[in-house]
Amino acid sequence: MNEVGFILSIMPGLLHGAITSVFVALAAISLGIILGITVCQMRRSQYWPLVRAAGLYISFLRGIPVLVILFLLFYMPSAVNIEVPSLLVAVLALGLNTSAFQAEIYRGGFNSIPAGQIEAAKALGLSRMRILTRIQLPQVLSLTGPELVNEFIILFKNSSLISVIGVTELMRRSEQLVSTTYKPVEVYLAAAIIYLALCLIISRLGERLKGKH
Amino acid sequence: MDALTTFLLRWQSFLAENGPDFAAALWVTIRISMVAIVCGLILGFAAELGRRICPWLRRPVACYVEFFRGTPLLIQLYLLYYGGPRVGIVLDAEPAGMLGMSLYAAAYFCEIFRAGFESIPEGQREAAHCLGIRPWRRLWRIELPQMAQIVLPPAVNQIITLIKDSAVLSIITVAELTKTATRIMNISFEIVMPLCLLALLYWIISEAVAVVSGKAEARLTRHLTR
């Protein structure tokens, strides 16, 4: 019974960290959506340098671990004496990582839109940008919805890695609590339960989104 | 030209000094990943088979999968490595990492196998049963060959993800690639070269696994595509 009381007593501190985790994950997924769509458009364009660059971007960022992206962004600027806040590094690293995966997700979405729709839109005199934002994107986003939710869950779990560069999110909070209370099992289990609960909430919300379309 | 020569010379001396360390670390990463992949595949398959055979295993397996897929690998490793000694599991960093990664991998592979089994129509199982085909033979001759197409692509993806996830082991001080790179950064005060080499090595591994497994996949599913 003592353990339960202890876990309850550390919960507020952990939840405070969890808010930072969620905030960083949301910022990163937004960055990832914008970058992902941009890179996907580059990949689908007719200019080979753009296609090559997008291909390289996707292959590289998908090919290296999130932790390495994090280290690259965290230490490289210091080599040329630039100080970047670690919160920004965290959002950038997670966002870059997810953008490469998202670009591949969107590619499938764009490919599944019948070419006739685009031809019809062009024949009606719609501009390229308008075709993208009014015809393609709404369909792509609703088609790839479930995969995006999945990607968000992965991203949220990856956000535990940003504790390494000193962002005080859920993971870092629990490490701090362990170093003051010396109760690793209880603290890490409590943190694991919070991660689990948030992941379940995200996937439930995703299912609800799926039902709407 | 002079700048290029200095650049190359710096890389040469860096590689001459730290190359062996990186090679050793690369082997650690590959070793851990292979153990995790093999154990994960076996354990994941066993868990999925168990849950299909014994109904009372369904709930425990579902909880297992949910826990390991719903929490970050880092926290699982912390629980095992720092929490383990409190409950009598004392492991060195590397075995702890291998065990943690295997358990983590098994949960993902279990779900992949589930999708594979679910892709096979129930009627085929009934037909096999009526024809008197034994369950093991049915599994080996009817279910597994057809599952290949469903299981292999996500399994390959998962294998690449696992190799990349092994970087997380550096946080619990396993001397794999990432840990070695940061250690070299700390002792040599070089930042750019170790990090670039680190990223490059992971990139090469991922691409190599993708190419090799693409070929293997084509071979293993040729009975379905032709």
> Which single residue is written with the structure tokens 């129509």?
B121
* Contacts with B71 (C-beta within 8 Å, 6 or more apart), sequence order: A157, A192, A195, A196, A199
| Chain B contact for A204 (CB, 8 A cutoff) | no
Q: Are residues A75 and B198, on separate chains, in Cβ contact within 8 Å?
A: no
The minimum CA-CA distance between A63 and chain B, rounded to whole Å, is 5
* Contacts with B214 (C-beta within 8 Å, 6 or more apart), sequence order: B156
- How far is B199 from B194, CA to CA, in rounded Å? 9
- How far is B47 from B64, CA to CA, in rounded Å? 9
State whether residue A169 is helix, strand or coil.
coil
Residues in chain A with CB shorter than 8 Å from the CB of B205 are 63
pLDDT, mean of residues B193-203 = 92
Q: Using an 8 Å Cβ cutoff, are A137 and A106 in contact?
A: no
Q: Where are the domains of chain B?
A: 2-225
- How far is B7 from A184, CA to CA, in rounded Å? 47
- How far is B167 from B164, CA to CA, in rounded Å? 6
Looking at residue B43, its pLDDT comes to 95
Q: Are residues A68 and B75, on separate chains, in Cβ contact within 8 Å?
A: no
Looking at residue B168, its pLDDT comes to 93
- For residue A125, give Cα distances in angstroms to A48, A118, A130: 26, 11, 10
pLDDT, mean of residues B46-60 = 90
Tokens encoding A47: 């200019």
Residues in chain A with CB shorter than 8 Å from the CB of B181 are 71
Q: Using an 8 Å Cβ cutoff, are A111 and A72 in contact?
A: no
Position with higher pLDDT, A80 vs B71: B71
The minimum CA-CA distance between B111 and chain A, rounded to whole Å, is 14
Looking at residue A211, its pLDDT comes to 64
CA closest to B67 among chain A residues: A196
Position with higher pLDDT, B214 vs A65: A65
Looking at residue B226, its pLDDT comes to 60
Looking at residue A213, its pLDDT comes to 54
Q: Using an 8 Å Cβ cutoff, are B117 and B147 in contact?
A: yes
The minimum CA-CA distance between A139 and chain B, rounded to whole Å, is 25
Share of chain B above pLDDT 90, in %: 51
Name which CATH class applies to B2-225.
mainly alpha
ipTM: 0.88
Question: HSE on the CB side for A165, CA within 13 Å?
Answer: 24
Rg (CA), chain A: 21
Q: Which residues of B touch A (CB under 8 A)?
A: 66-67, 70-76, 78-79, 82-83, 86-87, 164-168, 170-171, 178, 181-182, 185, 191-192, 195, 198-199, 202-203, 205-207
The DSSP code for A38 is H
Q: Are residues B198 and A188, on separate chains, in Cβ contact within 8 Å?
A: no
* Contacts with B80 (C-beta within 8 Å, 6 or more apart), sequence order: B89, B91, B96, B99, B100
Q: Which domains does chain A have, with CATH numbers?
A: 2-212 (1.10.3720.10)
How many residues would you count in chain B? 226
Weakly modelled stretches of chain A, pLDDT under 70: 1, 210-213
The DSSP code for A89 is H
- How far is B186 from B170, CA to CA, in rounded Å? 14
Q: Using an 8 Å Cβ cutoff, are A32 and A102 in contact?
A: yes
